[in-house]
């Protein structure tokens, strides 16, 4: 770390939802006094960036950056990370979705403690609590970390895409639910009922809030592979860390509340079928990037 008091930079990726972005900024100001806040606008076309300029344009703690195109999750966050790293010289860089809010007064203190106690930890993840149902998004145990699994997933999503284009996916899904008596109230596979991690079980961290430690910031000019637009960034980040001998660390003492997909929901097609096609196309695109990182076994 460069000083006795490490410098924190919070990168907030903004798209369309300035109400959510404002709440995120205020939570950082309230609980992380002295931190730099970098808001990256992904070319919002609804006047929300201009409203943020009116609200925070004269605030010395807030930097507003504007992308001329919607660069997606990875490239949008990379812009803010680069500014925090190379211009502000931050020691810790936190990337946050604009629909996430910090709730701990000791957030920065705990991050520093974790980095000191775990010098090989490149990324720290908080307990991310869903604003929808109170479930916990961290840690994530479902990982795509072998070439065989990456290519299996690509084949699977391509089949679903074909069924969607043929208008067969909906009927087949409803038929399967009837035949298997699927539990519609069950939590999705990627969320947990408690904040506790399972001891000894490998995991990755959710992208809604990631804390990049000084060892990561020194080694990486950007945190995310720019080849993705949305999805599987966490798996790729895990592989990037492993290549550098760094680990991911989950600490439930840190808490972030997540409204979940506020900006994404506003930007996706409203028609369910078109939304699924958009999502699955980006799944395949991101998996092809991940394929370059995973071991061949």
Work out the average pLDDT over 165-186. Answer: 57
* Cα–Cα distance, 194 to 169 (Å, whole number): 33
Q: What is the CA radius of gyration of the chain?
A: 19
Given pLDDT bands bounded at 50, 70 and 90, which one contains residue 34? Answer: very high
Residue 262 has pLDDT above 60, yes or no: no
Work out the average pLDDT over 202-230. Answer: 96
- Give the model's pLDDT for residue 165: 81
Buried b (16+ CB within 10 A) or exposed e, 123-158: bbbbbbbbeeeebbbbbbeeebbebeebeebbeebe
Given pLDDT bands bounded at 50, 70 and 90, which one contains residue 264? Answer: low
pTM score: 0.89
Residue-wise DSSP of 114-130: HHHH-TTEEEEEEEEEE
Work out the average pLDDT over 242-252. Answer: 96
Residue 189 has pLDDT above 60, yes or no: no
Work out the average pLDDT over 206-213. Answer: 97
Work out the average pLDDT over 166-188. Answer: 56
Residue 182 has pLDDT above 70, yes or no: no
Given pLDDT bands bounded at 50, 70 and 90, which one contains residue 281? Answer: very high
Which residue, among 188, 193, 248, 262, has the nearest Cα to 215 in the 3D structure? 248
């Amino acid at each position: 770390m460069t000083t006795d008091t490490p410098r924190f930079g919070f990168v907030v990726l903004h798209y369309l939802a300035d109400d959510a972005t404002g709440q995120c900024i205020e939570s950082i100001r309230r609980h992380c006094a002295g931190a730099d806040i970098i808001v990256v606008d992904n070319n919002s076309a609804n006047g929300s960036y201009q409203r943020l300029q009116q609200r925070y344009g004269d605030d010395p703690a807030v930097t507003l950056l504007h992308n001329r195109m919607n660069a997606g999750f990875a490239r949008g966050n990379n812009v803010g990370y680069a500014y925090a790293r190379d211009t502000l010289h931050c020691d810790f860089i936190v990337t946050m979705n604009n629909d996430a809010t910090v709730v701990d007064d000791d957030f920065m203190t705990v991050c520093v403690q974790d980095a000191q106690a775990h010098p090989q930890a490149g990324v720290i993840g908080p307990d991310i609590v869903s604003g929808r149902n109170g479930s916990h998004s961290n840690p994530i145990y479902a990982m795509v970390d072998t070439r065989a699994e990456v290519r299996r997933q690509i084949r699977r999503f391509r089949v679903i895409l074909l069924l969607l284009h043929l208008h067969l996916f909906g009927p087949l899904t409803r038929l399967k639910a009837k035949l298997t008596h699927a539990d519609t109230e069950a939590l999705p596979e990627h969320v947990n009922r408690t904040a506790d991690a399972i001891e000894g079980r490998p995991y990755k961290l959710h992208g809604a809030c990631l804390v990049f430690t000084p060892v990561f910031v020194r080694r990486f000019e950007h945190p995310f592979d720019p080849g993705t637009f949305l999805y599987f960034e966490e798996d790729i980040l895990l592989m990037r860390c492993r290549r550098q001998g760094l680990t991911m660390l989950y600490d439930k003492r840190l808490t972030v509340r997540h409204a979940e997909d506020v900006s994404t929901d506003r930007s996706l097609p409203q028609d369910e079928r078109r939304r699924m096609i958009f999502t699955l196309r980006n799944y395949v695109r991101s998996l092809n990037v991940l394929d370059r990182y995973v071991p061949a076994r």
